[in-house]
Amino acid sequence: EAQVTQNPRYLITVTGKKLTVTCSQNMNHEYMSWYRQDPGLGLRQIYYSMNVEVTDKGDVPEGYKVSRKEKRNFPLILESPSPNQTSLYFCASRPQGSYEQYFGPGTRLTVT
């Protein structure tokens, strides 16, 4: 089944403890993105990637890192999480030249 998977789906952590949220797609898509969703703010793009080793900042990259070493994976790294990074995170992918974006199921992160 064609899909975007994220792990974990739920995470409660403490301030300053490094964490990684994984994102994987099995559709051989070139484009991948990370978004955060907060009430009243909609979705805001954190980072995006147009292919392996090609990444760029979105609108809210502060406090996040990404890597794209393989086409299928696009992990989101929080080196030192803070409470203001408590949010619902979505990974998405789409093939180059196409406009339909496939979203993962979301990861709800709480930083205390």
User: What is the nearest approach in angstroms of other proteins to the Cβ of residue 91?
Assistant: 10
**Between the CA atoms of 67, 33, 23 and 61, what dihedral angle is there, to the nearest 10 degrees?**
60
Check residue 106 for interaction with other proteins (CB under 8 A): yes
Looking at the DSSP bridge assignments, the partners of residue 77 are 20, 65
Site string for other proteins, 36-75 (x = CB under 8 A): ----xxxxxx--xxx-----x-xx----------------
Residue 14 corresponds to which tokens in the numbers above? Answer: 């403490």
> Helix H segments across the chain?
none
| Least distance (Å) between residue 39 CB and other proteins | 10
Minimum gap (Å) between residue 100 Cβ and other proteins? 5
Nearer to other proteins (CB atom), residue 39 or residue 69: 39
Query: Among residues 78 and 91, whose Cβ is nearest to other proteins?
Result: 91
Contacts of 88 (CB under 8 A, 6+ apart): 36, 37, 38, 106, 107, 108, 109
**Residue 16 CB neighbour total at 10 angstroms:** 11
Residues forming the site for other proteins (CB under 8 A): 31, 33, 35, 40-45, 48-50, 56, 58-59, 90, 92, 94, 96, 99-106
